[in-house]
Amino acid sequence: MNSPVVQLATPASATRVTNFAAMSAALTGFSLETISPDLDVTDLKSAYLQTADQNGESQEVDRLIAQFLSMKGKTSQEIADALLDTGKQPADLIAAARHILEMWYLGTWNGAVVSSNAYIGGLAWQAAQAHAMGYSEWEFGYWAQDPPPLADFGVQVSNGAKRG
């Protein structure tokens, strides 16, 4: 089954950060609510966009966002496949998309940790149904229970997927 259709922000009604967050949701396979929650105290989406800009990839990010916005109506998987298509995408855009994925999953840019919030908020922890070493919001003894389903962590899963 295909993943849900991503709700795209329009250039006239949204900021670059909002579009970056929506594109990131499609690239990572996580829900937009996970990437850009209503109560967003760490604002990783802005920090990651700023990191990409500071590392000289702002033009590539803007080109990726433009491509993303042009794919209205496509599923997250179709968008990710298109943005990461090594047979059709220029190498600089693929590199930018991979750096964005690295930041969201690992909280790093080329191996350097972006921030402590980025490390703690890395999607790899959620995909593994775990938490960062030295940080947990879970109750003592949680490890004695089966982890919640991946969907509870914001991962877009097909209807048949129960556990990761």
84-112 pLDDT tens trace:
998 899 999 999 999 999 999 999 998 89
pLDDT score of 44 more than 70: yes
Q: What is the mean pLDDT of residues 60-74?
A: 94
Rounded Cα gap, residues 117 and 51, in angstroms: 13
| This prediction's pTM | 0.77
Q: How far is CA 81 from the centre of its chain?
A: 14
Rounded Cα gap, residues 76 and 23, in angstroms: 9
Residue 19 in contact with residue 48, Cβ under 8 Å? no
pLDDT confidence of residue 86: 86
Higher pLDDT, residue 45 or 151: 45
Helix (H, G, I), strand (E, B), or coil: what is residue 108?
strand
pLDDT score of 157 more than 80: no
Using pLDDT thresholds of 50, 70 and 90, give the confidence band for residue 129: confident
Closest CA to 103 of 9, 162, 40, 23: 23
User: Which residues, other chains included, contact 20 with Cβ-Cβ below 8 Å and sequence gap of 6+?
Assistant: 45, 48, 49, 61, 65
Rounded Cα gap, residues 126 and 16, in angstroms: 26
Beta-bridge partners for 155: 30
